[in-house]
Amino acid sequence: MTILVTGGTGNIGGALARLLQAANYPLIISSRKGVAEPFKAVKFDWSDPSTFENPFNADPNIDRVFVIAPISGDALEQTKPFFKVAIEKGVKRFVLITATQAEKGDNSQYGKVHEHLANLGVEYTVLRPTWFIENFGQFSHTIRENDEILSVTGKGRIPFVSVQDIAKAAFDALTAEKSANTDYFVIGPELWSYDDVAAALTEVTGRKIVHRLISLEEQLASFKLWMDEEYAIELNTYEGRIASGIEEKNVGHPKAITGKHKLRDYLEANKQLWSKA
């Protein structure tokens, strides 16, 4: 048995690879460069189907695959032929990351991939995380440079989840004796509004950090600067729904996996990320 980790150089995939290695599961990572030290890795690009057999040529024992779907282009068109190749090569189980608001079979990029995977007749789990705690580090420039968090979310709250907790949910789904063959929300243990986060960042950094509301149009324009239009529109819609409490509803949901890591601990441990120096 070998587990293929696509997106293994990224946030969730990297954390998952470390968990698998610590538990002595054989793994291989795919990445566009084909390098993911200290792990074995192969070249793989969603936009280039000629790379889809590379993992299986490098390790014929791959029977489980963790999937971070592409974040540009048509996700279903790109993943569909890969699922086919993987099943032909002996893969029995897939674990796919989508998002809380991407419903199976809806018209979203990830909703379509979810539906396709569920209809393949293989073992699968779809994990639908809410917003990541680590976003505050990855998209830190407005906090660092202007002392503000920009959002369209109003007073809406989010059970921010850590990448470690998402990786743990993926680890469990990949290694469980029996596959769940369903989807789960993956959320953190506490609800936070961006006002709450701004107040916590004010305490952590010692500078006044504010949450400034922007319009959906402003947000969409900024998303379009760094992502495909269709993904930008989807993410803008998802963000817009937070104000009405859509992410709060997942707390206590029977299909929610609730992580342990807390946002405040992340802010304390990484305060240098928002330092002006």
Residues 28, 250: Cα–Cα separation, whole Å:
33
Binding range to ligand NAP, per CB under 6 A, among 20-28, 44-52, 176-184, 267-275 = 44-52
Q: Which CA distances in Å does 100 have to 129, 166, 216, 238, 247?
A: 5, 12, 19, 9, 8
259 binds ligand NAP (CB under 6 A): no
- CB half-sphere exposure, 157, CA atoms < 13 A: 13
Site string (194-223) toward ligand NAP, x via CB under 6 A: ------------------------------
Report whether 109 contacts 231 (CB < 8 A).
yes
> Who's near 195: CB < 8 A, 6+ residues apart?
155, 211
CA angle at 228 for the pair 30 and 243, rounded to the nearest 5°: 105
For ligand NAP, which is the closer residue by CB, 57 or 121?
57
68 binds ligand NAP (CB under 6 A): yes
Residues 197, 36: Cα–Cα separation, whole Å:
33
Choose, by CB under 6 A, the member of 2, 3, 4, 13 that binds ligand NAP.
Answer: 13
Q: Which CA distances in Å does 151 have to 118, 154, 184, 250, 265?
A: 34, 7, 26, 20, 22
11 binds ligand NAP (CB under 6 A): yes
Binding range to ligand NAP, per CB under 6 A, among 40-48, 146-154, 199-207, 251-259 = 40-48
- Span 78-117, contacts to ligand NAP by CB under 6 A: 97, 99
Question: 208: buried, middle or exposed (CB in 10 Å: 19+, 13-18, 0-12)?
Answer: exposed
How near is the Cβ of 130 to ligand NAP at its closest, in Å?
6
131 binds ligand NAP (CB under 6 A): yes
135 binds ligand NAP (CB under 6 A): yes
132 binds ligand NAP (CB under 6 A): yes
How near is the Cβ of 153 to ligand NAP at its closest, in Å?
13
For ligand NAP, which is the closer residue by CB, 46 or 274?
46
SS3 239: helix
70 binds ligand NAP (CB under 6 A): yes
CA 229 to chain centre: 19
Interface ranges with ligand NAP (CB under 6 A): 7-13, 31-33, 44-47, 68-71, 97, 99, 129, 131-132, 135
